[in-house]
Chains A and B, each alone.
Chain A
Amino acid sequence: MSASIEKSGGFRAWLNKRLPVDQFVADQLTGYYAPKNFNIWYFFGSLALLMFVMQIVTGIFVTMHFKPGEATAFNSVQTMVREVPYMWLIQTMHAVGASFFFIVVYLHMARALMYGSYKAPREVLWVIGMLVYLALMAEAFMGYVLPYGNMSYWGAQVIINLFGTIPGIGPDLVEWIRGDYGIGDATLTRFFSLHAVALPFIIALLIGLHLVALRQVGSNNPDGIEIKAKLKPDGTPLDGIPFHPYYTLKDIVGVGLFLTLFAIVVFFIPTFGGLFMEAPNFEPANPVSTPEHIAPVWYFTPYYAILRAVPDQKIGALLMALSVAAFLFLPWLDRAQNKSIRYRGITSKLLLGTFFVTFVMLMWLGLKPADGIYVLLARIFTALYFGFFILLPFVSKADGNGPVPDRVTYHAH
C-alpha cells in the first residue's frame, strides 16, 4: 500500500536517502487507508495517545520538583503546588490526566467490544492493547502512592498485601515488593523509579507494537466488515480513505473538544468531588490511622468491588485477578461470525448492554462501604460480570451469524 516517493534532487532527496522520512509518512499516514465510516467512538485511540504524551510531558516537570521518600514526598508535592510558579497547574494536569487517560481507555475498549474489534485478524492487536492497559494500571497505582498522602499509604498497603494471598511465596513476595517490613523509603524510591522510568518505557514500546499491529491488520469499523475485501483498481480499499489528511483532521476536532473538557476539570473541578483526588490524600501518610473508608481511585473500583464481594480472601483476590485477565480471552470466547453488534441478535445486544451496566455499577459499588445492601449488590453484579464471559461463547455462536451488508454503511455529510 506504500505510495511511491520522489527522490530527485535537493535536501529532501538527500535526507530521504539516509532517513526514509517520506516513505514513513506514506506508509503510516497518507498511504494508510482507514474505513470511511468511522464514528465518534473512533476518537479515543488518538486521544489515548494524546493523554500518554500529556502524562509524559507533565510528568517530566513534576519529576523536577518531586522528592521520593517517607519524609520528603508529601511535602515536596505540597511545596511544588504552592510555591513553584505554575506547578499548581502542571501537577494538577498530571493528577487529573491519569483519570482522563482511563476514561479514554475505557471508551476505547468499549468501542472494541461493540464492534468486535478484538476478533480475527485483530487478536494480537487486542492482546497488546490489554497489555498496555495492565501496564497503565501498574503505572497509575504507583503514581497514586508517590505523593504519600494517607490514602496513598493505605491504598498501597491493601494492594501490596493482595500479593500476600499467593500461596507459599506470598509473605516473602510482599516483603520483596516493599523492600522493608512495611511501606517506607525503599518502597517509595523503587515506585518512583518504576513510575518515572521503567513503566513509561514499557508502555511506549507496547503502544508502538499496538500501532504496528494495527497497520498490519487495518482498522475495524462500526460495521465490522473488512474493507480490504473490496479493492479499487489501484489496489486501495474501495471503502477506505487515507488516514492523513482525512482522519488526522477529524482527530484534531476530537482533540479540541477533549481538551476543552479537560481544561474545565483542571481549572474548576480538579478533585472531581473526591473521585479524581480523594480527601484523605490531602493529609500526610499516617501508619497509625486507617481512613474510615478505603476506596481506590474510580478506575480500579470495579475490580475492588469484586474483591470485596467475596467473603473468602484468597478466592476474592483470585476472582479479582481473573476479572481483569478475562478480557485477554475475548477473541476466543466470541464465536460469532459477524464482528459488529449491529449485525448480531437481540440476545447479544442485551448481553453486552448488561455488561456495560454491570461494569459501571461495580465501579460505583467499589466506592461505597462494604456493608449491608452494597455487599449484596456487589455479589449480584460480580455474578453478572463473570456471566458475560461465560455466556458469550454460546450467545455469540447462536445469534451472531445473520446477514451483513456488502459494503460499509456510510452517509455523506
Chain B
Amino acid sequence: MSDHAADDTVPEVDESRRKFLIAATAGTGAVGAVLTAVPFVASWKPSESARAAGLPSEVDLSKIEPGQMATFFWRKQQIYVVKRTPEMLASLASHDGELKDAKSEESDQPAYARNESRALRPDVLVLIGTCTHLGCLPKPRFMPGDASVMANWPGGFFCPCHGSKFDLAGRVFQGSPASVNLKIPPYSFEGDNKLVIGVDTQPAKGVA
C-alpha cells in the first residue's frame, strides 16, 4: 500500500490493446452464442421417425377407374391421383389464356412433369392436394360446365377456403388467390399399375 501511495503517476492505459481485447472477447462470445444456438434450432427439424414415415408409398392404379380420383397420404399430405380420360386430357388445351402459369414455369414440379399434361404419363395425374395459397384441400369439381365454380368451367379443382381454381392438370386460373399451380410430388411407375410416390426414378432392375 505504501508503494502505491508513493507512486503518484497514473500508469498509461494501452487503449488499442484494450480495444482489441474487448473486440476479440465479444467476437468469440458471439461466435460461441451462434454455435450454441445451432442444436436448439436444429431440434425443431423433422425427427428421424417423422423422416421414416415420409418414405415412398406405393399405390395400386388398377383400383382407380378412368375419370376417378383417389387420395393417399404421403408425408402427412394428401396426394390426389386422378386417372384422366381422353376427354379430360383434351380439355386442357382449351384455356391456356385464362391461366396464371400455363407452362408451369413458376410452379413446383419434377422436371418430367413440366409438360402439357403435367405428368409422367398423361393418363395419370399425381398432385399434392394442398392448395398453394394457404394449404386447404382443393375439392374435385370434375364436371365440365359447372357454373357454380365459374363460367366455361372446364373441370378441375376448387378450394373452398379462399376460392382458388385449378384445372385438370392442377394449373391455377387467373383471379385465384393462389399464384402458382398445385405442386407435384416426385413419383415413378413400376410396371403399368404400380405408382410409387416419393421416388423420382425407378430403381434399377434386380435391386430390391
Contacts and interface: CB of A to CB of B under 8 A. Distances in A.
Interface of A: 154, 157-158, 160-162, 175-177, 179-184, 186, 190, 287-290, 292-294, 308, 310-314, 316, 370-371
A62 B179 CA distance: 41
Contacts of B135: 157-158, 160-161
Nearest to B179: A313
15 contacts: A157-B134, A158-B161, A176-B41, A176-B44, A179-B44, A180-B50, A180-B76, A183-B76, A186-B47, A287-B76, A288-B137, A290-B137, A292-B160, A294-B161, A313-B179
Contact of B75 (A182, A294, A313): A182
Interface string B108-136: 00000000000000000000000011111
Contacts of B132: 313
A211 B161 CA distance: 42
A292 B78 CA distance: 17
A62 B117 CA distance: 52
B136 A157 contact: yes
Main secondary structure of the interface of A (DSSP, over half): loop
B201 interface: no
Nearest to A288: B78
A175 B46 contact: yes
A331 to B, nearest CB: 31
Contacts of A289: 137
Interface of B: 41, 44-47, 50, 54, 71, 75-78, 132-137, 160-163, 175-179
A316 to B, nearest CB: 7
Contacts of B137: 288-290
B200 to A, nearest CB: 17
Q: Which 8 A-B pairs have the closest CB atoms?
A: A182-B76, A181-B75, A161-B135, A158-B134, A157-B135, A180-B50, A290-B137, A290-B136
Contacts of A370: 162-163, 177
Most buried by A among B47, B77, B178, B179: B179
B44 to A, nearest CB: 5
Given A154-B136, A179-B47, A293 B160 contact: yes
B44 A190 contact: yes
Contact of B177 (A176, A190, A308): A308
A20 B40 CA distance: 39
B123 to A, nearest CB: 25
A168 B175 CA distance: 24
Nearest to A171: B108
Given A161-B135, A184-B50, A288-B137, 17 more contacts: A154-B161, A157-B135, A157-B136, A158-B134, A158-B161, A162-B134, A175-B45, A179-B50, A180-B47, A181-B46, A182-B75, A186-B47, A290-B136, A293-B160, A293-B161, A313-B132, A313-B178
Nearest to A158: B134
A189 B47 CA distance: 13
Given A180-B50, A182-B76, A310-B177, A290 B134 contact: no
B183 to A, nearest CB: 10
Contacts of B136: 154, 157-158, 290, 294
Contacts of B177: 308, 310-313, 316, 370
Nearest to B108: A171
Interface-central residue, B41, B77, B162, by most chain A CB under 10 Å: B162
B129 to A, nearest CB: 9
B162 A308 contact: yes
Of A162, A311, A313, which is in contact with the most chain B CB atoms at under 10 Å from its CB? A313
A179 B162 contact: no
A162 to B, nearest CB: 7
B170 to A, nearest CB: 16
A311 B76 contact: no
B50 A186 contact: yes
Nearest to B45: A176
Contacts of A294: 136, 161
B148 to A, nearest CB: 11
Nearest to A159: B134
Contacts of A371: 163
Contacts of B179: 312-314
Contacts of A175: 45-46
Nearest to A371: B163
B76 A161 contact: no
Contacts of B162: 308, 370
A293 B160 CA distance: 7
Contact of B77 (A181, A313, A314): A181
